[in-house]
Structure 1
Amino acid sequence: MNELRPKLFDVMKGYSKAQLIKDIIAGIIVAIIALPLSIALAIASGVGPEQGLYTAIIAGFFISFFGGSR
């Protein structure tokens, strides 16, 4: 049986500086869209905008760490 191994280790073998720059740019673009949206969703849910920011930041880290996308 194959050992349990996070996808991150397999993906990082062929990772280059050019890919890192592209990933940073993509992350900034996603943050520009996600943070105002999370504030709006928090206000619409009846909580403060800061709770929406906390949720978006924490969820973003979990999704990026556990996601299987390249």
Structure 2
Amino acid sequence: MKHQGLTREKRTQKDYSIAFKLRIVSQVENGDYTYKQAQKEYGIQGKSTVLVWLRRYGNLEWSKPKLHT
């Protein structure tokens, strides 16, 4: 018996509309999702894709975390 697995189509940044990106950013900034939850919920494959959107389109400070001493 041959095993048939589901294959995911790889996506690029170009596949996501600006409206989709802004919706994700808004949901993360409003606290509806963490960026990792949003990534999983919407099937975004890139590990840092949502973070890039947050830095580019978001209203909050999303630079690298600062170490507190």
TM norm structure 2: 0.33
TM norm structure 1: 0.33
Larger radius of gyration: 1
